[in-house]
Structure 1
Amino acid sequence: MTIRQVEHFPDAAALAAAAAAFLLTSARAAVKARGRFSLVLAGGRTPETLYRLLAAPPLAQQMPWPDIHIFQGDERCVPPDHPASNYRLAAASLLRPGLIPVANIHRMRGEAPDPSQAAADYQRQVEEFLAGEGFDLVLLGMGPDGHIASLFPGSPWLTARDRLVAAVTEPTGDPPLPRLTLTLAAINRAATALIMVTGPEKARIVEEIIRDRQAAAGKYPAALVAPRNQLCWLVGS
Structure 2
Amino acid sequence: MAREIQILDSASSVAESGALHFVRICNSSIKANGKFSVVLSGGSTPKGMLSLLATDEYKKQVPWDKCHFFWGDERSVPPTHADSNFKMATDSLLSHVPVIASQIYRMEAEKADINQAAQEYQNKIATFFSVPNSSSPPQFDLLYLGMGPDGHTASLFPGTTALGEKSKWVVPNFVPKFNTNRMTFTYPMINQAKNVIFLVAGKDKVASLKEVLEGKPNLETYPSQGINPAHGSLLWLLDVDASSGLS
TM-score by structure 1 length?
A: 0.92
Q: Which amino acid aligns with 1:110?
A: A
- Indicate which of 126, 136, 142 corresponds to 1:137: 142
Greater Cα offset, 153-162 or 178-187: 153-162
Quickly say closer, same or farther: Cα 1:134–1:205, change in 2 above 3 A. same
* Contact 1:75–1:87 (8 Å) recurs in 2: yes
| Residue 197, structure 1, aligned to residue 200, structure 2 | yes
Q: How far did residue 207 of structure 1 move?
A: 3.0
Whole-Å Cα distance in 2 between the matches of residues 85 and 173 of structure 1? 18
Q: Is the 8 A contact 2:64 2:98 kept in 1?
A: yes
**What's the CA shift string for 1:109-148, capped at 9, x where partnerless?**
1221211111010010011112343111110000111101
Deviations 1:126-177 (A, max 9, x none): 1111234311111000011110110101122112121000012x35555x53
Q: Identify the residue that residue 156 of structure 1 maps to in structure 2.
A: 161
**Partner Cα distance (1:101, 1:83) in 2:** 22
Shift in Å, 1:32:
0.2
Total equivalences in the alignment: 233
Kindly indicate whether the alpha-carbon contact (under 8 Å) linking 1:193 and 1:230 is maintained by their aligned counterparts in 2: yes
SS in structure 1 opposite 2:95? coil
Moved more, 198-207 or 113-122: 198-207
Residue 25 of structure 2: SS of its match in structure 1? helix
Q: Deviations over 1:28-61 (max 9, x none)?
A: 0000001111100001222111000111111111
Name which of 185, 188, 211 aligns with 2:188: 185
1:129–1:172 Cα change, 3 Å: farther
The percentage of aligned residue pairs carrying the same residue is: 36
Partner Cα separation in structure 1 for residue 100 and residue 176 of structure 2 = 32
Residue type at the aligned position of 2:168: R
CA separation in 1, counterparts of 2:71 and 2:141?
Answer: 13
CA distance in 2, matches of 1:54, 1:230: 22
Q: What secondary structure, in the 3-state scheme, does the structure 2 residue paired with 1:70 have? A: strand
User: How far apart are residue 203 of structure 1 and its match?
Assistant: 3.6
Separation in 2 of the partners of 1:131 and 1:151?
27
Q: Aligned AA for 2:211?
A: E
Map residues 102-141 of structure 1 onto 2, 5 A cutoff: 102-132=101-131, 133-141=138-146
Q: Quote the offset at 1:219 in angstroms.
A: 2.5
User: What are structure 2's unaligned runs of at least 5 residues?
Assistant: 132-137, 242-247
Residue in structure 1 matched with residue 56 of structure 2 by the alignment: 57
Query: Residues of 2 paired with 1:46 and 1:18: CA distance?
Result: 11
Relative to the length of structure 2, the TM-score reads 0.89
Moved more, 219-228 or 32-41: 219-228
Corresponding residue number in structure 2 for 1:74: 73
Q: Aligned-pair RMSD on alpha carbons?
A: 1.6
Structure 1: segments with no counterpart, 5+ residues? none
Give 1:100 shift: 1.8
Helix, strand or coil at the partner of 1:154: coil
Q: Does 1:206 align with 2:204?
A: no
**Structure 1's 206 and 41: CA in aligned 2 closer, same or farther, altered over 3 A?**
same
Query: 5 Å matches for 1:6-85?
Result: 6-85=5-84
> Could you tell me how far 1:23 is from its partner in structure 2?
1.0
Q: Aligned-pair distance for 1:25?
A: 0.5
